Amino acid sequence: MRQWFKELDVLLRGDSTRLEALKQGGIAVPARGLGAVAVVLGLAYGACMGGFSLFREGGPVWSQFLATTLKVPLLFLLTLLVTFPSLYVFNALAGSRLDLLSVLRLLVAALAVNLTVLASLGPISAFFAASTTSYSFMVLLNVVIFGVAGGFGVLFLLRTLHRLVVAHDEPAAGSQSAPPPAPANLAPEGGPPPLIPPPRSKPAESAIDPLEGRLMGRHETLVFRCWMVVFALVGSQMGWVLRPFLGNPALEFTWFRGRGSSFFESVLHHLGQLFQ
């Protein structure tokens, strides 16, 4: 497990997704290890989020705490299963040459980044869970937290997909480029050589930095943005299907609620409740 967390740290720092590493062919990340770490991180955030059910006025509801803890990693697992086929097709349309297993590894890596950010925000959720009794506020707070974490996960995914496309095309373009011209001798005859400043060290690329001088094409941008919308819609509605996560203090505990309404209607409802 410790080695898997080290691999996650390497992924977060961008070492696994640098252009030089991707030119070796695909993204070399341990999908099983990252998947296990992602589950642990999801359980950790679920416990923080479920803390709201332990500080109710009527006493703690341990069954809701357990349900919330288990549902967070389940939410991401089901979202992965639903969005994986579309990512493979959209990735092929964008010009990448990743095979099915490589796309799966990439999506697992993106969800690991997503859940890492989510777990890092867990103490904030736990703090408000212990210090407020407003159910609507907690719902909206967690919507924002999940949105922030999801944004970083999708950004990592899009940046890596773009780098994979560039890594595939760059060797062919580089083989036709002419060697750089030799620097001219600017020293005056008989005089001292000119002072040439040392080359400036290039800062290390992070996992979400855009490639310098390599903008995404209009076609790639459109394809990836369409998939990003699909991922956001599926993740949002999946959270609605798996509700309740926090557990409404006015209702009895249940593992799942019946079909009805939607995620977006619920958010608007809680916004209205919060500002009444």
What pLDDT sits at residue 138?
Answer: 94
Give me 239's structure tokens: 């959270």
Give how far Cα 125 sits from Cα of 54, 61, 174, 268, Å. 13, 17, 49, 21
CA angle 191, 193, 199 (to 5 degrees): 165
Please give the distance of CA 194 from its chain centroid, rounded to a whole number: 49
Residues 6 or more apart in contact with residue 194 via CB below 8 angstroms: 186, 187
3 state SS of 246: coil
How does pLDDT run along the chain (276 residues), one tens digit per residue? 788 888 888 888 877 777 666 766 667 788 889 999 999 999 999 999 999 999 887 778 899 999 999 999 999 999 999 988 988 888 788 766 778 888 888 889 999 999 999 999 999 999 999 999 899 999 999 999 999 999 999 888 888 877 777 776 665 444 444 555 555 555 555 556 555 555 554 555 666 666 665 666 677 777 778 888 888 999 999 999 998 998 888 888 889 888 777 888 889 988 998 887
What pLDDT sits at residue 130?
Answer: 92
pLDDT in tens, 14-70: 777 776 667 666 677 888 899 999 999 999 999 999 999 998 877 788 999 999 999
pTM above 0.75, yes or no: yes
What pLDDT sits at residue 191?
Answer: 55
Residues 6 or more apart in contact with residue 58 via CB below 8 angstroms: 249
Distance between CA atoms of 78 and 81, rounded to whole angstroms?
5
Give me 259's structure tokens: 């079909």
- Whether the Cβ atoms of residue 29 and residue 13 lie closer than 8 Å to each other: no
3-state class percentages of the chain: helix first, strand second, coil last, to nearest 5: 65, 0, 35
What pLDDT sits at residue 181?
Answer: 55
Q: At 227, which amino acid appears?
A: W
Distance between CA atoms of 211 and 84, rounded to whole angstroms?
25
Distance between CA atoms of 59 and 220, rounded to whole angstroms?
52
Give me 152's structure tokens: 């970083």
Average model confidence (pLDDT) across the chain: 81
Distance between CA atoms of 266 and 136, rounded to whole angstroms?
10
- Whether the Cβ atoms of residue 235 and residue 94 lie closer than 8 Å to each other: no
Give me 267's structure tokens: 């958010």
Distance between CA atoms of 159 and 174, rounded to whole angstroms?
21
- Whether the Cβ atoms of residue 49 and residue 245 lie closer than 8 Å to each other: yes
Helix locations, 31-99, DSSP H: 31-50, 62-93
144 — phi, psi (to 5°)?
-65, -45
- Whether the Cβ atoms of residue 164 and residue 27 lie closer than 8 Å to each other: yes
